[in-house]
Amino acid sequence: MGKRKRYLSRRPTSKKSLNQAPGTVTYVGSKETVETKLDIIDYNTTSYERFTSDSIEDAFKFEEENNVTWFNIDGLNNTGAITKLGKYYELHPLIIEDIVNTNQRPKIDEYQDYFFIVAKMLYRNKEGTLENEHISIVLGKNYVLSFQEAGGDVFDGVRQRLAGAKGRIRSRGADYLAFALLDAIVDNYFIVLEEISDKIEDIEERLLSVEPNDDITFEIQELKKTMLRIRRAVFPLREVVSRLEKVDGGLIDEQTVHYIRDLYDHILQVSENIEVYREMSWGLMDMYMTTISHKMNEVMKVLTIMASIFIPLTFLAGIYGMNFKYMPELDWEYGYPTLLIIMLLLFIGMMIYFKRKHWL
Amino acid sequence: MGKRKRYLSRRPTSKKSLNQAPGTVTYVGSKETVETKLDIIDYNTTSYERFTSDSIEDAFKFEEENNVTWFNIDGLNNTGAITKLGKYYELHPLIIEDIVNTNQRPKIDEYQDYFFIVAKMLYRNKEGTLENEHISIVLGKNYVLSFQEAGGDVFDGVRQRLAGAKGRIRSRGADYLAFALLDAIVDNYFIVLEEISDKIEDIEERLLSVEPNDDITFEIQELKKTMLRIRRAVFPLREVVSRLEKVDGGLIDEQTVHYIRDLYDHILQVSENIEVYREMSWGLMDMYMTTISHKMNEVMKVLTIMASIFIPLTFLAGIYGMNFKYMPELDWEYGYPTLLIIMLLLFIGMMIYFKRKHWL
Amino acid sequence: MGKRKRYLSRRPTSKKSLNQAPGTVTYVGSKETVETKLDIIDYNTTSYERFTSDSIEDAFKFEEENNVTWFNIDGLNNTGAITKLGKYYELHPLIIEDIVNTNQRPKIDEYQDYFFIVAKMLYRNKEGTLENEHISIVLGKNYVLSFQEAGGDVFDGVRQRLAGAKGRIRSRGADYLAFALLDAIVDNYFIVLEEISDKIEDIEERLLSVEPNDDITFEIQELKKTMLRIRRAVFPLREVVSRLEKVDGGLIDEQTVHYIRDLYDHILQVSENIEVYREMSWGLMDMYMTTISHKMNEVMKVLTIMASIFIPLTFLAGIYGMNFKYMPELDWEYGYPTLLIIMLLLFIGMMIYFKRKHWL
Amino acid sequence: MGKRKRYLSRRPTSKKSLNQAPGTVTYVGSKETVETKLDIIDYNTTSYERFTSDSIEDAFKFEEENNVTWFNIDGLNNTGAITKLGKYYELHPLIIEDIVNTNQRPKIDEYQDYFFIVAKMLYRNKEGTLENEHISIVLGKNYVLSFQEAGGDVFDGVRQRLAGAKGRIRSRGADYLAFALLDAIVDNYFIVLEEISDKIEDIEERLLSVEPNDDITFEIQELKKTMLRIRRAVFPLREVVSRLEKVDGGLIDEQTVHYIRDLYDHILQVSENIEVYREMSWGLMDMYMTTISHKMNEVMKVLTIMASIFIPLTFLAGIYGMNFKYMPELDWEYGYPTLLIIMLLLFIGMMIYFKRKHWL
Amino acid sequence: MGKRKRYLSRRPTSKKSLNQAPGTVTYVGSKETVETKLDIIDYNTTSYERFTSDSIEDAFKFEEENNVTWFNIDGLNNTGAITKLGKYYELHPLIIEDIVNTNQRPKIDEYQDYFFIVAKMLYRNKEGTLENEHISIVLGKNYVLSFQEAGGDVFDGVRQRLAGAKGRIRSRGADYLAFALLDAIVDNYFIVLEEISDKIEDIEERLLSVEPNDDITFEIQELKKTMLRIRRAVFPLREVVSRLEKVDGGLIDEQTVHYIRDLYDHILQVSENIEVYREMSWGLMDMYMTTISHKMNEVMKVLTIMASIFIPLTFLAGIYGMNFKYMPELDWEYGYPTLLIIMLLLFIGMMIYFKRKHWL
């Protein structure tokens, strides 16, 4: 099932779950063993407090108006707790469904008091296969809720900046925090793209140097599939950030818009790179095809040269191996050396012919 | 004819029916033996009533204003009954034509008092070939008419939720019911897509492991055709739901719009998956092509190695099979073993040469 | 010239005619022998009158305000008569040029008092090649002028409905008549598309069953060209009908708009089918390519098996055909049967080897 | 350099000229030997006067308000004279630069008192290669300036119509004259397209009939390149004419707009044809590829049949050419004819086998 | 790393730097050894002064209102100095980040008092590989700041025109200077494109004349990659200049807009050329593929001819090399010459057969 997941998205596809009413909150991802954990960071320009808990109820204690509070929830398995949190913050039922529905594509939903953003994180797991992680962000007036499928370290940089009071992050509002989280996700894409760049170069070099084998076809096909998956994660995000930039209402500060525009530039760059790599992987297939054809050509030439040289010579030898009674040549004293010389001349002639044809 | 149907859509193509006036009500589908049946569900938040009949006239009894009434008609063969129902609900003649015209593409027509929606259901029949089922939905103020070509179980989930008072469905109006029906159809697409995903993986594996045979070409072509058909069913629906979301007038409740937007997201996801699978099936053809070329290369190498080694050796044997009177080598005592050793050296030399060329 | 015509459109390409002033009325089609004929149908809900003549002047007698009058002109050769008719109805000179310019692409020109519509009919001629027929329609307040290159039977269905008072056609105005004519043309496209569908299936089957021959390449190329021509006839018509639907002014009745929208749906369907068939014909070329490669692979395997088995055996036979004086094996009593057994073992070994490689 | 020119456009690419200030007037075309000549036609509905001169200063004498004056300048080498003319008519310096910059793409620049239009003429030169000619048109209130790189005969038709008072041209203003010039250019494209159509058919026929040779690849590549160049000349013109149609201000008469729309239709047709030919030339490459593959298949079959039949037979002959002392068959009386019959049967068996495989 | 750079853009991809806060000023390019230098040109119509310094602080002395001042900074390594300059001109922190972030794609950011433009210069380095140089331009009311990664000579033409008072440049404002800088960059693209044009022709010729070798595949792939990189540099610039043309506010003079439009035309031309070259490089791959196939065909023909002629002849010789006791032909007096004649006839027959098949 894990394997199939790669291509297919959204709802569980067993008939039972398909008959569920829309809005039903079911976790459909594959990380079912991840415990749901809560990590709260409450800060303003001067103060900073961090609080970790296994119980989602602990989130309800943070309500100070002047601070920005970031609730980060790792693990989407405990749908009950997430529903409770959602109700506390008066989130629409469809949002709670989307938080745990790991197949939801990147999108932004604008509600009266908050924005709901879905994004995808990409990383390699221990086996080296690329994995999607479903990330949801709710941006309210002075709070940010972020939901991760599994606890990763992608947001650690943001946490460090918050803790160390590095950069502008502590002096800005929740909107800047949400931007910082998205920025961290997009930065991560560049790592994945670099791996793809390496992979493409690796395949190119192998096409050049060693004997290409059948598996390269499948590696290229895998590469293409990986690219298709990345594209599916990144392209809708482009629109998400573009809408975030243009949004009205008080949630996004004028100053943050500059940063969001910058983020948009970065996503454009990721998108362009994806398109470039896609074209390059098409080129790889073409290269492989011509390489095979070229090698086949080489093989054929060797065969043709060998056969063209020795088949006529063998024929000549066959002639004088015949047992006719009256074959005058056989009795000539220099018949044998004469024939050898003729064969040598034929051989040399052939070699020159093939040389001229650039087959040698 | 059934086979041809697959590709061609809309009107019957015999010249007779083409000369018909527009608006003529003729059933053109292939499920002519399906009896036209009526299934009525009348409900509100508290009450629920279900009624089944073979006679369409039974539909005219349900007129209570405060309830939502869902008329589901299975089987489009009885055009007379459908026309009667259409007249009772004052539907435009073109709508009645479109209800029985199974070749009509997905669309939405907005009329004063009702919307007319055409969608396509996809399912595998008993023989395993993908079939289109034509589904029409009329959404009125407090009623929904749904027309199915053949009675299937796609709407059973909706019926169960209605009967069991599960989810929000009983507390909402006819618009939510229409949404729920479309949602059931779209959910169904994911099953079909998963089958395609399986098929693609299956072909990939077969390309890797066993000897590919000619039929894979045709399987891939079938796959492509299936995808083209799905696309034709799904892509216009995208626009349908998008217009449903933006529609003015009192038919669609503010609250239902959120759900329709969610449905739109799902259709986008289906569309994206279709595009991804299309690219992957193009990739399959490329893979097959390189696989064949690669195998041919292997075949050629075996031939070339065998021929290149033994043709020169045979020539040597031919030389000493000649019957010249004066061939001094023949009389040498160690002529024969010497030649055998020379042949062995030639053989070994060839093997090293081919090893170096990575042909062995 | 007839052959070249297929690809090229618009003006005659001889230098002489290219230097003509724009607006010059010259018939450039290939049906120069078709006599220009006039067929007039004058009707309203209650009355119906049909009148046929060879003289265009007869058209000027029909001027009753309350009736709809349909002038159908077959044969565009008599440019004088057409110009006369155009002047009588005060048509712009460019319209008259376009009526006889059979290379004009489908379009709609909106004038104050009338619309000018150009469409293309597609049909197979007696030799089985697809032909374009240029059709122009002028829609006025209570008259329709239709110009056909050659008299065909495509409008016969409309005439029958008019004569038989079948359908709504007699009770509607000239706008509905114009719609009915366009509808008849679009219906005709479905027949052509079905032929293409048949052709594609036919080629697919032949690719599977018999030995593919070189001609299939050309058949597929012909298919592609046919599709390109259909597309050129259909795609601009899409825009024509779309503009007809949105047009202001009193010429198009509110009620007719529904029918035009329906017609637009049909053209969309034709367009979609064309795109599907195009993709399928690209697929055909790929299939053919892999089929050839696959068959070549088969041929190569037979050659390789035969050569790999018999060349070494022949070498062995050659060894013992040598005439060395001292070849001890030759004198062994069981030398010959021993060698035969060795050869048999080699043969069997080879067979097993090729079996394992799935070449047999 | 002339060859490189084909692909590259705009500025001279030597570093020296690249460092020139924008607006510098340098002729960069390849027709440097063409003398700059002036041809003036001054006309109104009743009068017509033509005047030819080598000196551009002669242009300044024509200033009558009621006449339309057409200044046609052949040869762009004399940049001084052209600058002088430009200054007389108060043209913007960038316009004068664009007039002599033969690499400028087709465009329209709207100035207060005049429009500046750049178009490309296509024609075959004496060596048969397609050439671009840079044509600039300045349309003022009652004058038209047209600049040609080399004097061609493309505008001769317009001159004849002016001289002969044929068509509407004499009774219309300068706008109609400018339209007539563009119309003459567009008409010319159809000739080039017809040549391409002929070329495609020619290649198709050669692919069918004779042995295709390597050069066809290059001819198809040349064809594609030609198409790319035509497209580059035609596609921007589409936008030019479209803007000309929609332009405000008094320069374009209401009545001329109809003709410009007609011209736009023609350019659309050229564009469509180009796209069709491009697809067809892609198809040609595919056809060529399958044709080669098919022929290779034929070659391989001949080889395989010959080898498969004679290699086993030769082996048999080799067996009985061995010199074993004890080979009982050799002493049989009917050994030889028996073997011959066995060989014949083998031969016939092989033939039947290959017949069944459709290789014969 | 330098190699990887080619494909990947923007941020450094080591995890450490990815965790940096947005707005952090780090130089990520590869030209770290280039000293940061300052070159100031201060001019108006009458005066001209040039000043070079290693210290950025020298920039703060130039503040005369009536002059235009151009600060050109070479080398982005000294981020401290650049930050200082940025602060002096009150540039937004994101701008300073983008100035040193060499991976930033071309863009324009409009601020209240200045525009920020990023462009890419393309040039070949000493090793002949194409390099991107990151160039940033800040256009203020009466100053232009330009930042180059390494000091190149691309702006030398502008400096000469300024020094020599050539062209309009001295009499115009800072906006014209910014245009002149962009114009110099775009002019440079044409040189790169011409090299590509040369490369394409070179490959075409080599495909025709000599034996194509495997490396051509890689050269074509390199060509494609180069094109992808150029496209990434040029295409976003198109939008940049287009926005510059339409921008409101007092920074861009009415008169300069004409020149910007001209620049836009040039970028369109570069874009068109890139697309044309891309299509041509696809065509190259096809050509190479058919060329290989064609050559393979030639090889196969030689093999088939040689084998088909000599294998049957060898068989015949083998027959009469058999040692059967009773072979009457062996004892015929003219057996040997008869057989030789038969062989000759066979040979001639074969030759005629292959001639007819156009294999010779």
Residues of D in contact with C232 (CB under 8 A): 272, 276
* DSSP, residue by residue, D167-179: TTGGGS-HHHHHH
Grade residue C166 by pLDDT with cuts at 50, 70 and 90.
low
Q: Are residues A225 and A279 in contact, defined by beta-carbon separation less than 8 angstroms?
A: no
**Predicted confidence band of residue C207 (pLDDT cuts 50, 70, 90):** confident
DSSP letter at B16? H
pLDDT of C344 higher than 90: yes
Alpha-carbon gap, residue E299 to B312, rounded angstroms: 20
CA distances from residue E352 to A59, D58, D334 in whole angstroms, order as listed:
94, 74, 37
Q: What is the pLDDT of residue A210?
A: 61
Q: Is D311 on the interface with E (CB under 8 A)?
A: yes
pLDDT at site E32 = 66
Of A193, A283, A308, the CB nearest to E8: A193
Q: Lowest mean pLDDT of A301-305, B28-32, B102-106, C232-236, name the range.
A: B28-32
Instruction: Inform me whether the C-beta atom of residue B69 falls under 8 Å from chain C C-beta atoms.
Output: no
Instruction: Give mean pLDDT in consecutive 10-residue pieces for chain A, a chain of 360 residues.
Output: 35 45 71 78 87 79 78 84 86 87 87 90 78 89 88 81 79 90 90 88 81 76 87 90 84 87 90 88 86 85 89 89 85 86 92 86
pLDDT digits (tens, 9 = 90+) for D177-192: 999 999 999 988 888 8
Longest dimension (CA), chain A: 120
Alpha-helical (H) ranges within A131-253 are 156-164, 174-208, 215-246
Q: Which two tokens stand for residue E201?
A: 């022709």
**Does residue B39 carry a pLDDT above 60?**
yes
Q: Which is higher by pLDDT, C75 or E213?
A: C75
Contact list, D204 vs chain C (CB under 8 Å): 218, 221
Residue found under tokens 């391409």? D196
Which residue is it, tokens 């500025």? D11
Please check whether residue D192 touches C, CB under 8 A. Answer: no
Average pLDDT of chain B to the nearest whole number? 83
How far apart are the two ends of chain A, measured CA to CA in Å?
Answer: 54
Q: Domain A294-356, what fold? A: Methane Monooxygenase Hydroxylase; Chain G, domain 1 (1.20.58)
Interface of B with A in 7-66 (CB under 8 A): none
How is chain E split into domains, by residue range?
A: 15-290, 294-356
Nearest CA in chain E to A324: E330
pLDDT score of D303 more than 70: yes
Q: Which residues of A touch E287 (CB under 8 A)?
A: none
pLDDT at A136: 93
Nearest to E292 among A188, A287, A294 (CB): A294
CB atoms within 10 A of CB C175: 26
Name the E strands within chain D.
37-43, 48-53, 68-74, 107-110, 115-124, 130-139, 143-148
Long-range pairs, E291-295, Cβ under 8 A, ≥24: E291/D214, E291/D217, E291/E207, E291/E212, E292/A290, E292/A293, E292/A294, E292/A297, E292/E212, E293/A293, E293/D289, E293/D292, E293/D293, E293/D296, E294/D213, E294/D214, E294/D217, E294/D292, E295/A297, E295/E211, E295/E212
- Residues facing residue E43 across a β-bridge: E48, E68
125-144 in E: which are within 8 Å (CB) of A?
Answer: none
Chain E positions in Cβ-Cβ contact with residue A297 (cut-off 8 Å): 292, 295-296, 299
Say whether D318 and C314 touch across the interface (CB within 8 A).
Answer: yes
Q: What is the pLDDT of residue B246?
A: 84
Q: Does C319 touch chain B (CB under 8 A)?
A: yes
Predicted local confidence at residue E241, as pLDDT: 92
d(CA D141, CA D68): 9
Residues of chain D contacting E152 with CB distance shorter than 8 Å: none
Residue C351 at interface with chain D, using a CB cutoff of 8 Å: no
Question: Nearest C-alpha of chain D: how many angstroms from C120?
Answer: 14
D228 touches chain E (CB under 8 A): yes
Instruction: Give CA–CA dist C309/C350, Å, rounded.
Output: 6
In this predicted structure, what is the pLDDT of residue B51? 87
> Tens of pLDDT along C136-151?
999 988 889 999 887 6
Q: Give A24→chain B minimum CA distance, Å.
A: 8
Cβ <8 Å between E167 and D311:
no
Q: How far are the Cα atoms of A108, A168, B2, C308, E114 from residue A255, in angstroms, in the given order?
A: 20, 11, 63, 78, 17
Among chain D residues, CA nearest to C314:
D315
Q: Which of E3, E10, E274 to mutate to test the interface with A (most CBs of A within 10 A)?
A: E10
Is D111 in a helix, a strand, or coil?
A: coil
**pLDDT category of residue D293 using cuts at 50, 70 and 90:** confident
Judged by CB atoms closer than 8 Å, whether chains meet at C321 and B317 is answered as: yes
Contacts of B319 in chain A (CB under 8 A): 317
What pLDDT is attached to residue C10?
37
Q: What is the pLDDT of residue E14?
A: 39
In angstroms, the CA E165 to CA C180 distance is: 72
Looking at residue E223, its amino acid is L
Q: What is the largest CA-CA distance in chain B?
A: 120
Taking CB atoms and an 8 Å limit, are D302 and E300 in contact across chains? no
Do residue A280 and residue E228 have CB atoms under 8 angstroms apart?
A: yes
Tell me the chain A residues in contact with residue B193 when contact means C-beta distances shorter than 8 Å.
Answer: 8
Which listed CATH number (3.30.460.20, 1.10.357.10, 3.30.70.120, 3.40.50.300) goes with C15-290? 3.30.460.20
Indicate if the pLDDT at residue E248 is higher than 60.
Answer: yes
Helices D174-208 and C215-246, packing angle to 10 deg? 150
- pLDDT at residue E47, as a whole number: 86
Q: Does D164 touch chain E (CB under 8 A)?
A: no
Percentage, residues of chain E above pLDDT 90: 14
User: Which among B187, B261, B262 has CB closest to A18?
Assistant: B187
Count of beta carbons in the 10 Å neighbourhood of residue D125: 10
Q: Does residue C14 have a pLDDT over 90?
A: no
Q: Which long-range contacts (CB under 8 A, 24 or more apart) does E219-224 make?
A: E220/E281, E220/E284, E220/E285, E220/E288, E221/A204, E221/A280, E221/A283, E221/A284, E221/A286, E221/A287, E223/E196, E223/E199, E223/E281, E223/E284, E224/A279, E224/A280, E224/A283, E224/E278, E224/E281
Please tell me which of the candidates E190, E198, E324 has its beta carbon nearest to residue D335.
E324
Q: Which of residues 195-214 of C touch B (CB under 8 A)?
A: 197-198, 200-201, 204, 208
The residue behind tokens 């000649």 is B322
Instruction: Give the whole-angstrom CA distance, residue E201 versus residue E280.
Output: 10
Query: Would residue B249 be called left, alpha or beta, if left means φ above 0 and alpha means ψ between -120 and 50 degrees?
Result: left
Contact B29, B2 (CB under 8 A): no
Contacts of D268 in chain C (CB under 8 A): 105
Query: Which one-letter DSSP state was computed for residue D35?
Result: P
Place of tokens 């009450």: B47
Judge: B193–A221 Cβ closer than 8 Å, yes or no.
Answer: no
pLDDT in tens, B283-316: 888 888 888 888 888 888 888 898 889 898 988 8
Q: E7 and A200: CB-CB below 8 Å?
A: yes
Question: Which residues make Cβ contacts (< 8 Å) with residue D91, sequence separation at least 6?
Answer: D114, D116, D138
Neighbours of D246 (CB within 10 A): 9
Residues forming a β-bridge with C290: none
For E18, which of A187, A287, A327 is closest by C-beta distance? A187
Distance separating alpha carbons of residues A121 and A189, to the nearest angstrom: 8
Q: Are C74 and C121 in contact (CB under 8 A)?
A: no
What is the SS3 assignment for A105? coil
Band the pLDDT of C4: cuts 50, 70, 90.
very low
The predicted model gives B37-55 an average pLDDT of 86
pTM of the model: 0.81
Please give the pLDDT value at position D7: 36
